[in-house]
Amino acid sequence: MGVAVGGVILDESLLLASNSPQHENPSLQPVADSLLRKLRHSKIPTGISYDVGLSDDKVSLLKRLATLYSFDCFILNESSVDDAKNEIMLAWGDTGGSILYIVSDKKKEFFPKLSNCGWLIVVLRSLGQESAAVTEGGSACENSIMIFINKLEELPSTICHINRKATGNSVATVGYVMKSSREEDFAKRGAFPLYPTQNGLMFMPLTFELPLSPQLQEVDVVLHKATDEIMSIELKSRTNFSNRIVYTSGMQDLQRYLEDHPDCCVIDSFNNIYPVLDRLEIQEILLRLEDLKTEGHSTIRGPHFLKVDSFKEPDLLQRMSEAKLSLPSIVKPQVACGVANAHKMAIIFRNEDFKDLSVPLPAVVQEYVDHSSTLYKFYVLGEKVFYAVKKSTPNADILMKLSESNGLKPLVFDSLKSLPTAKEDQNYDNDNCSKASNSCVDLDLVTDAANWLRGVLDLTIFGFDVVIQEGTCDHVIVDVNYLPSFKEVPDDIAIPAFWEAIKKKFELKRFGEVTEWTDKPTVKVAVTADAPALVKLVEERLMDS
């Protein structure tokens, strides 16, 4: 086994664009920002090196980058290798691994000076050079390992390859793919370290800019947010759902790879996420919550609903009545995520509101539940369940006043951006919510529902929203989603639970499938105030029966 990467030094030759005209300000290579963002949250100390002869404006740019990404800057040239090593030791101390120095092959004359430094050397080949290769003990750097890469995008996978080689089979590598903004949100919370976690996971970003198969051969687990890569969904057809979704070419490649390699652990299967893309299918699944009814507990259910293909259907009102729907109701697109306007919704108060309604079709008309402006967001991470209490839309009477002030028009909104609210909502009170939320929500009931959903959907990480109906105390699940951000849960609790969920899924896949969950949960509650909304956390620990 080799030595893990304990620190990363990026030479200026691979960060700065080399084709900038002399009279223009220096600029970065196109992929440099993306790489720096990944390294910032990698849990590996990172620095930028430059030669003393570099122009002042370029040095200034590099120092600004170092400050922005919390990196260090070091002067490194042919005569200062020993000095740089000392500076790095003072800045980082004992990193527990080797320094990985990444440099462009344009600095070939510098390589012999590094032969006795004990560093691992990664060389970025210039365009037109030979394909990537790995050589150990090369003549240019006899006491180092020289690794040649063709693109800067290969660096994260190169680091994971070195760390995997150093740790052997004791660490599982998780390859992940999602849109950059989502990746950044997870990474800045410490979720995606390139260095092994305490429970033996290491995270490697997958990129569609490089051939996918060689990347996937380096990983044990694939974590994806496939909905970030949807181009279109056709719901009018009754064919298999998988045939109605068009993904980007990169995601299609990943899907084909996983189909050809059924032994690969994936979180989660494409087939398993399809129900959460279709609000109608989720509603039909929630009908089966009827099986969880027990004496002495509140009812947990989905809202009453009706699928609508046209808002001009002559018998629409009769069908709504048969579906136990009354006004006001909320209208949502049947497609739940992944495409434009999937979150464009409307609350309607009159029959004529359906005329010229702009919600995309097909749509689902859903019961609007008066819930005192209180929403419970539940997050399921493997065997653990968390929730947060958040402010939501007001009751129907207040919404009606909002509609009247808007000329009695439907309240149309994007649920990802804003929700209909009142300036003064007497139904929501932070202090009252703080005192009553534990007594309002039946945690045993909802955790039973969470376990039931986990079994039915066969998802590892998902979320669902619950509102409690005034009067009946029915617990109504109004939304289910895959791989949520769970950002309301404190990072020091959520991220270890996130890692544990992934590790457990991998171990189950590796050592044998579990067909059902039989452990009985107990619930532990911790409360913290997070104005203006009260945030609560429930951690479900499965104990032996």
Residue 512 neighbours by CB under 8 Å, 6+ apart:
none
Rounded Cα–Cα distance for residues 307 and 71 (Å): 53
At 54-90, the pLDDT tens digits run 999 999 999 999 999 999 999 998 778 888 889 999 9
Q: Which of 285-289, 363-367, 440-444, 532-536 has the lowest mean pLDDT?
A: 532-536
Write out pLDDT tens, residues 493-521.
999 999 999 999 999 988 775 433 334 34
- DSSP label at residue 369: P
- pLDDT: which is higher, 539 or 395: 395
CA pair distance 6, 96, nearest whole angstrom:
6
> pLDDT band at 440, cuts 50/70/90?
confident
Q: Are 333 and 342 in contact (CB under 8 A)?
A: yes
- Out of 130-144, 146-160, 404-418, 434-448, which region has the weakest mean confidence (pLDDT)? 130-144
Phi and psi angles of residue 496, each rounded to the nearest 5 degrees, phi first: -60, -35
Give CA angle at 508 (208, 463), nearest 5°. Answer: 65
160-202: per-residue pLDDT in tens?
999 988 888 789 999 999 999 999 999 999 999 998 998 999 9
pLDDT tens, residue by residue, 289-342: 987 877 777 899 999 999 999 999 999 999 999 999 999 999 999 999 888 888
User: Tokens 């189950």 correspond to what residue?
Assistant: 508
Cβ-based neighbours of 22, under 8 Å, separated by 6 or more: none
User: Residue 446 has which token pair?
Assistant: 């909802």
Q: What percent of the chain has pLDDT over 90?
A: 59
- The whole-angstrom separation of Cα 69 and Cα 188 is 11
**How confident is the model at residue 428, as a pLDDT?**
44
Question: Residue 221: which residues within 8 A CB-CB, separation 6 or more?
Answer: 172, 173, 174, 175, 264, 265, 266, 267, 502, 505, 506
pLDDT given at position 107: 85
Query: Can you give the pTM of this predicted structure?
Result: 0.86
pLDDT at 236: 63
Q: Distance of alpha carbon 24 from its chain centroid, rounded?
A: 38
- Give residues with Cβ within 8 angstroms of 102, minimum separation 6: 8, 9, 10, 11, 14, 122, 123, 124, 155
Task: Please count the residues of the chain.
Answer: 545
Task: Give pLDDT, residue 477.
Answer: 97
pLDDT tens per residue, range 248-305: 999 999 999 999 999 999 999 999 999 999 999 999 999 999 878 777 778 999 999 9
Band (403; pLDDT cuts 50, 70, 90):
confident
**What is the pLDDT, as a whole number, of residue 456?**
95
Structural contact between residues 149 and 140, judged by C-beta atoms closer than 8 angstroms: no
**Is the model's pLDDT at 137 over the cut of 80?**
no
Whether the CA torsion 355, 359, 365, 366 is positive or negative: it is: negative
3-state secondary structure of 146: strand
| Residues 419 and 398 sit within 8 Å (Cβ to Cβ) | no
pLDDT digits (tens, 9 = 90+) for 459-503: 999 999 999 999 999 999 999 999 999 999 999 999 999 999 999
Task: Give the CA-trace dihedral at 205, 207, 213, 217, to 10 degrees.
Answer: -10
Sorting pLDDT into bands at 50, 70 and 90, what band is 527? very low
pLDDT confidence of residue 525: 37
Residue-level pLDDT at 143: 38
Average pLDDT over residues 103-130: 79
Q: What is the percentage of the chain residues whose pLDDT exceeds 70?
A: 84
The pLDDT of residue 242 is: 59
Sign of CA dihedral 419, 422, 427, 431: positive
